[in-house]
Structures are given as C-alpha cells and as structure tokens.
C-alpha cells in the first residue's frame, strides 16, 4: 500500500463504521486515502471522522467543487490507483451495473480506470436476491473485484452471509491481488476463444455453442496480471476493454489456424480455449441452396488441427489446450495432452451443472504433462482463468528448476 493513491467509497449502510478502521489502517500502511461518502453514508458516520483519519478532504457532493481548476469527480477518478467501495450496498452495486451516475461516488466510479474492489454489506436475503446476484455477476464480468462478505450476526438481527469483511481481511485481499497483478509482467500470452463458423452457402453455416466467455476471461485475467495479450477470437458477442489486449477477430477454422501460427513464435504462454470446428463442408455454394423434396447430405472434410500443429512447432512456449467432454473427461484429456505434445490441458464436463457453454461459471480439472492433477471447483470463469494462469506459472517455474 506504500504510496498508493486509494479512493475509498463509503455507501449508506450500518457497516460504514468499519470503513473508519479501514481508512486508518490504509493510512498507517503508507497509502494516500481520499474518501467519498454517499449522502446516506453521512447519516451513519460524520465526514469529519474520515477527514481526521485520512488527513484529506472528504467528498460528499458532486457539485461541491473544491478547486475551480479541476472537476472533482474526474480528478479523483484519474488520481486513484485503487478504488475500494466498503461497505457496498445493494444500491451502489445496482447503480454501477446499470451505468447510473447521480452522485459523487457513482460518477467517480464510472469515470475511473483504476482497479475497483467492492466489499458488499447487506441483509442476507438482499445479498441472495436474484437482482443483486445478477448485478454482481455483471460487474465481475467487467473486471470489478469482489471481496465477499462474511457470515455471522447482522445488524438487522439475521444470521447469515452479508456482514462486511473485516478491514484487515480487505487489505490482505487487495494486497494479494495487487501482488498477483505482477505475476505475468513482461510475459506474452496468446489466447484463442469462441467458436468458428464454417460456411455452407450465403445464409447457412456450421458452428457450436461456445460463447467465448472462458477464453475472454483468460485474456482479461492475463492482461490484468501484467501480460501483453493477443486474443484470437471467433465470432462472439463479447467486448474487450483492456488496453493490454490486442484482439484479432476471425470466422473460420482456417483463419484461426493462420492467426495462431502467425503470432505463436514469440509467445511465453499459449492457451487454446477456442472450440474450433473439426469439420467443414467440402463444397461451399455462392448462392443460397433451395429447399429440396428429398434429404440433403452435406459432405464434410477435416479442418487443420490447430493444437496438434502448435504442439509440433513449440520450442519454449508453454502450451495449454482445452478439452470439453461429456464422458470420461479426464481420460480423454490425458490422451489429448500426450497426443498433441501439450504442457497442460484444462478438462471440463460440459454436461455438468454450472459448467460448459454460455454460462458464467465453470468446473475444470487442470492436468500438466507430469500428470499432476489440480481440480478447480465451481467458480466464476474469471476466477477459473486466474487459477489456470497461476498453475501455468507454477509449472513453468518447476520446468526451469
């Protein structure tokens, strides 16, 4: 935390009193702390308390411009290295997810490019409400980091999950994440994601159910950990915002093959998460085929095996493949690992609840070439991505030892 510029956002919940201790501990660790309070937060704790603890002005009103040469919420958004919301109420979480900017804290949050940590605190039933869950998943997908609340006796009288995490734990979580952000500094990572589309005629094509979410999560996580990332993406409805990601959009298996090989030679880690078509129509028609009275047979031919060709070509690259299976996933994964000369493979059973295509979570097994097995239980695809990258770094270090 030494010399870090931290904006602490305090929203209106009873747990606001814990933010006082958080401010004090951050300051003691050498951070420069500036506090933004919502109007409701000031009903629980006086702004003067935070001013005394942080030794900086406290911001409560978007229109209270303390310096006429600067727009306060933009200045704070640019100043921050880290932005922490503690406590984060259901209201402020919903505002960020909905793009609402109607007070000092929400406008700063929408304007900042700093890393944002959200520490929720609310009634146990509010925390479990589908709208709150949906908003948190959306924010997590956008790269916000959550510090999960603890379980225990709540101010409302209920016992359950929803209590603001303790200040020491919040700081430890942020420190660990900031340290992890440096793990891939100076590394080059190549990722493929999404499906491919294999054309039959101008209106039809063969594809699969891959959404690209897992591959995109890996690319975003690698960039956040300091890597320079090249993302080769099939046709998906996903955005990338991290400036460390160079995105290359492709459609067909052949195009993905060409781009993966074009960028392969200077990479440190290569992760092929894309679900590439194994076959394509042997004949492609320039005009739409009309409906016929009889059955229609489409003759298919093999596409190039991207992963196998990269395995044959690799020198110092750490190559990771994916295996989406429905039967005996680990057995098939082991076979693929050996056959394609991989350094590791990530296996998942797409028939399992919470795993597979289109969902925001996954359950995977990571197997390295020494057949060391690491099972990663149900988690968000972003969390899975971070764990895969950490395991890859572990194996790289062991290989060089």
Burial (CB count <10 Å: 0-12, 13-18, 19+), residue 114: buried
Residue 161 annotated in ligand binding: no
Predicted confidence band of residue 238 (pLDDT cuts 50, 70, 90): very high
Residue 205 annotated in ligand binding: no
Q: What is the pLDDT of residue 161?
A: 66
Using the predicted structure, report yes or no on whether residue 334 has a pLDDT greater than 70.
yes
Do the bridges between strand 300-302 and strand 279-281 make them parallel or antiparallel, or are there none, so unpaired?
Answer: antiparallel
β-bridge mates for residue 347, sequence order: 323, 365
Using the predicted structure, report yes or no on whether residue 223 has a pLDDT greater than 80.
yes
Structure-block tokens of residue 79: 């100043």
Thinking of the domain 188-400, which architecture would CATH place it in? 3-Layer(aba) Sandwich (3.40)
Domain ranges within the chain, ordered by starting residue: 5-180, 188-400
Please name the residues in contact with 293: beta carbons below 8 A apart, sequence gap of 6 or more.
none
Residue 336 annotated in ligand binding: yes
Class of domain 5-180: alpha beta
User: Beta strands of 11-121 (E only): which ranges?
Assistant: 32-37, 58-59, 82-88, 115-120
Using the predicted structure, report yes or no on whether residue 179 has a pLDDT greater than 80.
no
Q: Where are the alpha helices (DSSP H) in 29-129?
A: 47-54, 72-79, 90-98, 104-111, 124-127
Residue 282 annotated in ligand binding: no
Residue 216 annotated in ligand binding: no
Predicted confidence band of residue 156 (pLDDT cuts 50, 70, 90): low
* Residues forming the active site: 156
Q: Is the previous residue joined to 158 through a cis bond, with omega within 30 degrees of 0? A: no
Using the predicted structure, report yes or no on whether residue 158 has a pLDDT greater than 70.
no
**CA angle at residue 212 from 210 to 218, to 5 degrees?**
135
Q: Do domains 5-180 and 188-400 have the same CATH topology?
A: yes
C-alpha span between 121 and 19 (Å, rounded): 11
């Amino acid at each position: 935390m030494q010399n870090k510029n931290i904006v602490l956002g305090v929203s209106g919940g009873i747990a606001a009193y814990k933010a006082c201790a958080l401010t004090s501990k951050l300051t003691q660790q050498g951070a420069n702390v500036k506090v933004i309070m919502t109007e409701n937060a000031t009903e629980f704790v006086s702004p003067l308390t935070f001013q005394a603890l942080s030794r900086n002005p406290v911001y409560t009103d978007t229109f209270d411009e303390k310096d006429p040469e600067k727009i306060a919420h933009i200045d704070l958004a640019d100043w921050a290295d880290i932005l922490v919301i503690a406590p984060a109420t259901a209201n402020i979480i919903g505002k960020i997810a909905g793009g609402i900017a109607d007070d000092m804290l929400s406008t700063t949050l929408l304007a900042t490019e700093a890393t944002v940590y959200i520490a929720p605190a609310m009634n146990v039933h509010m925390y479990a409400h589908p709208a709150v869950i949906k908003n948190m998943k959306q924010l997590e997908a956008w790269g916000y980091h959550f510090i999960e609340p603890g379980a225990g006796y709540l101010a409302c009288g209920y016992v359950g999950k929803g209590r603001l995490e303790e200040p020491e734990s919040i700081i430890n979580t942020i420190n660990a994440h900031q340290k992890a952000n440096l793990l891939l500094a100076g590394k080059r990572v190549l990722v493929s994601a999404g499906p491919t589309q294999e054309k039959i005629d101008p209106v039809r094509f063969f594809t699969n159910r891959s959404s690209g979410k897992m591959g995109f999560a890996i690319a975003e996580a690698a960039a956040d950990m300091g890597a320079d990332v090249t993302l080769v993406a099939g046709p998906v409805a996903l955005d990338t915002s991290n400036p460390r990601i160079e995105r290359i959009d492709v459609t067909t298996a052949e195009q993905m093959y060409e781009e993966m090989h074009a960028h392969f030679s200077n990479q440190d880690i290569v992760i092929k998460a894309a679900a590439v078509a194994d076959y394509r129509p042997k004949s492609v028609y320039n005009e739409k085929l009309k409906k016929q009275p009889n059955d229609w047979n489409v003759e298919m031919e093999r596409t190039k095996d991207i992963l196998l060709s990269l395995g044959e070509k690799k020198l110092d690259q750490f190559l990771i493949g994916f295996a989406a299976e429905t039967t005996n996933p680990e057995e098939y994964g082991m076979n693929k690992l050996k056959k394609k000369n991989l350094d590791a493979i990530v296996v998942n059973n797409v028939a399992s609840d919470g795993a597979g295509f289109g969902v925001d979570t996954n359950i995977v097994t990571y197997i390295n070439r020494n057949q060391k097995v690491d099972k990663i239980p149900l988690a968000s695809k972003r969390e899975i991505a971070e764990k895969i990258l950490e395991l890859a770094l572990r194996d790289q270090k062991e290989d060089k030892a």
